[in-house]
Amino acid sequence: MPMRIKRSLKSFPIVHIAYELLPHPSSMINPLMKSKVDIKSITDWDFYPTYEAYVDMMYQFASDYPDLCEVFSVGQSVEGREILFARISDNVGLEEGEAQFLYTATMHGDETAGFVLFLRLIDYLLSNYGSDEQVTRLVQNLDIWINPAANPDGTYAAGNNTVNGATRYNANWVDLNRNYPDPQDGPHPDGNEWQAETIVFMNLAENNHFTMAANVHGGAEVVNYPWDTWPQLHADDVWWQFVSREYADTVHVYAPAYYMNMFNNGITNGYQWYTTNGNRQDYMNYFHQCREFILEISDDKLLPASQLPAHWEYNYRSFLNYMEQALYGFNGTVTDSESGLPVRAQVFIENHDTDSSMVFSDPSTGKYFRPIYEGAYTLIVSASGYQSDTITQMTIENRQSKTMDSELVYTGAGLGENNNLHLFEVRPNPGNGIFLLISQTAEKISGTIEITSMNGSIVYQNDATFDAGDNSRLIDLRNQAKGFYLLRFNSHEGVFTKKITLQ
């Protein structure tokens, strides 16, 4: 876009049009920066940290609260900056089968409000644990992951000492929120290869089991819920409106009348606002069955540092309330009836789920979490080689949690009974044509992916190698008819088979 504008300006003198070229908005702000920060001495949070100060602040959280917080890098940006997460729980680092919750910000590097607000949220959760009832409940019952700077190269485009000059894009001038596989437009909807930052987050999603998430932006003030890529509504559209309305209504109690009051008084369906392809919200919802929305919290992209405390006051209660929604709805543990071991199973709501809105139990714990709007539902729990378990007419209220465990009886029937590569899975399944075959092991495995229709015709065939740094393959079946297909991955180590459903 900038290059197109410049070429157009060259023609203005020819047609005698006077113009003034204004500076980029981010260059007009001289934000207060701090290079040395002691978290425990912060009072107003009215500054931006340098990159080195940001890294130091993150690791100070872990050193100050070692029983509640661990901090680590999940990978590096194009220019080698760390993509850092704070992981918070009352037994941090232990697998307790809790719902995982994900917050990230600054995916667009010049949309900086969420950067400092999420640093402050980490501090708020840690410093108020044990004294604030809601914070204590969240830390005790969730596995919380917070990433304040998802695109550090964009935020520090002008150097590590300032966010002045921050850019939307990463160092390769790619919009990271158009760079994800899209359920409608395929693996590379923007025409670019997956960027380093995109791959980091895709691997994060594949190696975890996030129940809910939010991706924080700026440039508007609205809660944007899925879908963005296509016009049909999400199966849980009523629930999405409910939690989005809760977020915005809580904001309205504590913010000026002009804040977050546009669109439908602060909330919008993404496609009805404007359609985008390849964003992380749709990727997480469709391919990982994670309930993620986009949160726009500031009309100003590069928010003046002096306004950060006010935006915290407007939003922090809603941050907490949204996290708490991950505790509500149906939950339970799926196990093998004989051994009691966990089973990875699909939990499907009859006459409700569509477009990959079902959820799966975690293969290591058997736990599943299914946020849902109040009503009466029939749950079908199924896994390859097992007899399905149907749980009929289960009623639930909003802000209620109901546990529904399931013991599946192994029958040995059905596709997948001869699998000897158990550490593979297909997401989503059922799907609309774009599937991910994911390896759950760090071991290097090479083989051939082959997909056949139920009449035996081969509709897809490709060689693939999986290892720790490249553990998934995207399969595009959008040109095939709806129905059932058999996926086989043949390797020297064994054969993985799975029935997949194209909706």
H or E segment and range at residue 256: none
Q: How far is CA 190 from CA 187, 197, 226, 344, in A?
A: 9, 15, 19, 33
The sign of the torsion formed by the CA atoms of 460, 465, 466, 472 equals: negative
How far apart, in whole angstroms, are the C-alpha atoms of residue 367 and residue 97? 6
Furthest CA-CA distance within the chain: 84
- Using CA atoms, how far apart are residues 362 and 346, in angstroms rounded to an integer? 10
User: Which stretches does DSSP call E strand in 125-194?
Assistant: 142-147
Tell me how far CA of residue 402 lies from CA of 136, 349, 368, 471, in angstroms: 21, 15, 12, 34
Contact 218, 301 (CB under 8 A): yes
- The one catalytic residue among 296, 350, 407, 450: 296
Task: Round to the nearest angstrom and report the end-to-end CA distance of the chain.
Answer: 37
Q: Which residues pair with 377 in a beta bridge?
A: 394
Q: Catalytic: 296? A: yes
The answer to whether residues 362 and 209 touch, using CB atoms and an 8 Å cutoff, is: yes
Bond before 430 cis per omega within 30 degrees: yes
Cα 274-5-10 angle, rounded to 5 deg: 160
Q: How far apart are CA 57 and CA 38, in angstroms?
A: 7
> Which phi and psi (to 5°) does residue 119 adopt?
-60, -45
Q: Which residues of 371-385 are buried (b: 16+ CB within 10 A; e: fewer)?
A: bbbbeebebbbbbbb
Residues designated as active site: 296
